[in-house]
A and B are shown apart, each in its own frame.
Chain A
């Protein structure tokens, strides 16, 4: 394994590791501070799901969560709102369908990796139908006739073959993930790139396409940071993400 990593990569990985674990999230207490009156409940057995997922990189994660919330509000959402304003709904749906259709390839591959033949078959059917009859994916003709949309990614494939999720990790802009799922994201991005390559576009066109894809992805996700109004949103979302991925992997 060590031979595979050249020195630069090794350095990158070690510094990343330090970056992740260095930032503290433990309260730094001033002199006249008094401990909370309510005792901490006995962890684990008494708290069930609430204490189920440790968060060794919390310091880094919380900073990234904060960054994401700000970036979303001041950069991404204004672009998304502008996009929604200038494009007619019909066009938006078309674009959304188009990118969903491109995403089917990665779902298909991952379903095969997990030996889920019926899921793979259904996904392949969707891809062929929508590409051929749905104007290269702009119209979703497969769903109304019973080809349901599936969801598989490389994170789930790894999970299927027994790779543990690893620590919770908040990715820049992408948000909640884990060490395993972040690896999966990279793989899926490669698979996606292959699909794009097959369309033989100029690199500038590809850039615009990726940009549009990102805007569409954000526009179709109704999540808004701190819409819950809860100071505990970070913890709640972490719990939700971890649990939801377990469910997906088990599916």
Chain B
């Protein structure tokens, strides 16, 4: 009986392994040599370039959808990014709020599709573009607070560090690797963290190829830089 059970467990396991391996092969590659993510088909081909792209100086009325955008701030639609760890997807209400009064594009197929969802009160089933493994917790709010609110950098630049040049894309596509080494490469070179006691320190983090702070000769303890609540704790992302 048990011999039979063991055999069946094994066979099931091997079958699951083979089939998931086969299934994996049909998936697009997760990382490409040029760091581009897979091309993702969305239910509505949302034109980021039209909304966030730079204005065409030769077209003051902004009437040509193929050339030039409206320079909208990312945060106008992605409003949760500055308030929460997750950026969220704008509610459908947000799209309709403007589009119900833009008659010129009302009969365009994409807009008609959009209103179909709205009339049915159904959410648009967007597909994820920038996904992280479940064991990584990235906090949007902290990054927006730091770069946009404290350092006054343009939103598009700050978002672009991770999301790439979205203003020139239609449907967004991942253009950075979003791996741990890639995160660390930024944090290591340009992320001075204020330690407890207000002392600014560089090279504070000591995990994963970061350099360990040097212990002063004769000091009993490590310098307090180590205690800094920066992204130098594993816990900050892996909680």
A, B from the same assembly: no
Interface residues, chain A, CB within 8 Å of chain B? none
